[in-house]
Amino acid sequence: MEEPNKIERDPPRLITITQNNDGQRIDNFLLSELKGVPKSHIYRLLRKGQFRVNKGRIKPVYRLKIGDIVRIPPMQTRQQQASAAPSESLRRLLEQRIIHEDDAMIILNKPSGIAVHAGSGVDIGVIEAMRSIRPELEDLSLVHRLDRATSGCLLLAKNRKALLSLQQQLGGEGMEKRYQTLLKGHWLNKDEWSVDEPLLRSQLQSGERMVQVSPQGKAAYSCFRIIDYLRNSVLAEVLITTGRTHQIRVHAAFIEHPVAGDEKYGCPEFNLEMRQYGLKRMFLHASSLIIKHPVTGKTLPVSADLDDDMKAVLNALGR
């Protein structure tokens, strides 16, 4: 019989650094990633070389780069009630949501409500589940991230060569990312709105991440284009050439047309109104990607349809 509250070790985790954490110090990254673990314990493990980057030891002042692979060692935590292995329903869901696969990568239409990786109270994310589903893909890694509530195109690389190629495109030219979102209100005298405002990320004492427009932030560019006028809202397509944390949500709030269902940066009254039309989550969907294939170099367009619940909201709003 198992002892109650038995202490056991979580398995090690591998986290691939994306544009969101490029330039961040490893100690600050770990403090954010391992909420609840004492700060002194994290620094002790850093000094002992327990945390590794690209299989090598690092110092606390090391600054992360796109493509770095951070190894989080087994950590002692209280035994989890839920298993870290994906449920059968999650396995089936993710397999059904694969929209492209070849020898270099997998592209998923990520469901809303599922985190891309474990951490911060999440036992299992997309990458852990996919590694369990495809155990033969030892180097399977996230190319980029989507917020937990965001659905749509999510890139996974099968090997390091593909990972570095795709992340290089992500950080510069070669990749086009478009989203669809439902925004508050109607725009006047324009069908397109470009927002070129730097974004600064901070962390509250509670550990919650917040992002705001600030001259001290990193460059960020979003272009909003109206697809359709709806009741007290617009359906918009968003082209982004940078991939900052919460970028679309913060830029939309900055121009006073926040994303429907966004509980962090949005408008509570507008969110309540949209719930009356059936919206039960944030309306933000990564609708398409255009990339250069990491092996052939050929242009590859991929798209992910809106989920049925989003389509139903648009119909209810009088699309």
> What is the per-residue pLDDT for 84?
62
The pLDDT of residue 21 is: 80
Three-state DSSP string of 125-140? CHHHHHHHHCCCCCCC
- Cα 246 to chain centroid, rounded: 9
> Would you call 123 a catalytic residue per the annotation?
no
Inter-residue contact 182 to 235 (CB < 8 Å): yes
pLDDT at 5: 41
The per-residue pLDDT for 37 is 77
Give, for 197, the enclosing helix (H) or strand (E). none
First-to-last C-alpha distance (Å) of the chain: 58
Cβ contact 16:130 at 8 Å: no
DSSP assignment of 89-132: HHHHHHHHTEEEE-SSEEEEEEPTT--SS-BTTBS--HHHHHHH
Which pLDDT value is given to residue 205? 62
Q: Which residues of the chain have pLDDT under 50?
A: 1-9, 77-83
Closest of 246, 193, 237 to residue 218, by C-alpha = 246
pTM of the model: 0.76
Residue 85: the pLDDT is: 79
Query: Amino acid identity, residue 270?
Result: F
Distance from C-alpha of 198 to C-alpha of 213, rounded to nearest angstrom: 6
pLDDT at 206: 64
Structural domains in the chain, CATH included, are: 8-75 (3.10.290.10), 88-171 (3.30.2350.10), 176-316 (3.30.2350.10)
Q: How far is CA 147 from CA 82, 90, 114, 125, 260, in A?
A: 22, 18, 9, 12, 15
Task: Determine the Cα–Cα distance for residues 280 and 109; give it in Å rounded to an integer.
Answer: 19
Helix axes 26-33, 39-48, angle to 10 degrees: 130
Q: Can you tell me which residue has the tokens 């709806």?
A: 230
Distance (Å, rounded) from C-alpha 128 to C-alpha 104?
18
Could you say which of 27, 147, 191, 305 is catalytic? 147
Taking the C-alpha atoms of residue 63 and residue 103, their distance in angstroms, rounded to an integer, is 31
